[in-house]
Amino acid sequence: MCSTLGTGWTVRWSNASDADMRVVVTGGAGFIGANLCRTLVTTSEVDAVVALDDLSTGSRANLDGVEGVELVEGSILDAELLDQVIPGADAIIHLAARPSVPRSLIDPMATHRVNATGTLEVLEAARRHGDPQVVVASSSSVYGANPTLPKHEDMAPMPVSPYAVSKLATESYALAYGHSFGLPTLAFRFFNVFGPLQAADHAYAAVIPAFLANALRGDPLPVHGDGRQTRDFTYVGTVCSVLADAVVRTVTDPRPVNLAFGTRVTLLEVIALIEQQLGRSLECAHSESRAGDVRDSQADQGNLRRLFPDVQPVPLEEGLRATINWFEELS
């Protein structure tokens, strides 16, 4: 069972010796974070895992049944709390963020505070406490209005939403701390990550959980625009295995790295795959395209393959099957 600890407490890294590997996951009670905690506790090289999360979009329930993770409830904006959590860590996987384009349009300052200032707080805490490796989550949204496909890390970022700007700040600060202070850093650009634990029933839900929740309820699938926009969907299990490998091998790089595999599919194709797996046809409800959304997305995977030559991505169909199974168990 995951143990929960409040503030006013210093991580003791219970049962860990100096030789053991200790990992802090910020945002560890969120969708990717809670999947990552599950991966880390089964990674033989990792001995202790602490999840730091303010539970603003994540939840304790996401870590239910996970043995060996200590959940610390609090904010990355709280430097004193970071001074209790970071000492002794070998690596920090920094996922905590306000992770939504629409929310950033409603409150750009709040997005900036958590995603940009919060990242600085984490990096500063890392500097204060022995320079652990810091791996950060950036986003394909930084490519924004740049139409070139596939998206290569050398392309000029052209963010079109406050969220995308804040993620560019996240990765830029991390890499600048590598250059300026020698902090071992790695910045991944996640594309569209999907899988179990991804929340479906809120206004800012990502597209695959929104489709699956509606499909299983028998409601029309919400499609913004014509559905021919393309995305490079990445199964969360693949993302977590790359993140775990990055800390086990202390992988660093001076440039951001796409964490996706160049599988470019339209939303209509995803719907067809869901129809195939559910064995029935599904109705769609089309609405206006959303402000800040990009039309097409597809990663160049060259740098990822260079740094992680052994990675075996879970194919889209297989990832969808696992995600459908998880949604079916919920309902």
Ligand X SMILES: NC(=O)c1ccc[n+]([C@@H]2O[C@H](COP(=O)([O-])OP(=O)(O)OC[C@H]3O[C@@H](n4cnc5c(N)ncnc54)[C@H](O)[C@@H]3O)[C@@H](O)[C@H]2O)c1
Tell me: does residue 311 bind ligand X (CB under 6 A): no
111 binds ligand X (CB under 6 A): no
Q: Would you say 2 or 47 has its CB closer to ligand X? A: 2
Can residue 32 be called a binding residue for ligand X (CB under 6 A)?
Answer: yes
Token digits of residue 35: 């999947």
Provide, rounded to whole angstroms, the least separation between the CB of residue 19 and ligand X.
Answer: 29
Q: 79-98: which residues touch ligand X (CB under 6 A)?
A: 95-98
Tokens 């052994």, located at residue: 310
**How many residues in the shown chain lie near ligand X by CB under 6 A?**
31
| Residue ranges in 126-165 that form contacts with ligand X under rule CB under 6 A | 137, 139
What the block records as the tokens of 30 is: 């969120």
Contact stretch for ligand X (CB under 6 A) within 21-29, 81-89, 287-295, 322-330: 21-29
Burial readout 192-206 (b: 16 or more C-beta within 10 A, e: otherwise): bbbbbbbbbeeeebb
Give, in order, the Cα–Cα distances in Å from 330 to each of 238, 323, 327.
22, 11, 5
Nearer to ligand X, 22 or 167 (CB): 167
Closest approach, Cβ 294 to ligand X, in A, equals 12
Q: How far apart are the first and last CA of the chain?
A: 23
Nearer to ligand X, 192 or 214 (CB): 192
Helices (H), the chain: 31-41, 79-85, 101-106, 108-112, 118-128, 162-181, 207-217, 236-248, 267-278, 302-307, 316-330
Contact string 186-215 vs ligand X (x = CB under 6 A):
----x-xx------------x---------
- Read off the amino acid at residue 54: D
Cβ contacts of 79 within 8 Å, gap of 6 or more: 121, 124, 125
Question: Could you list the residues that contact ligand X (CB under 6 A)?
Answer: 26-27, 29-33, 52-58, 75-77, 95-99, 114, 118, 137, 139, 167, 190, 192-193, 206
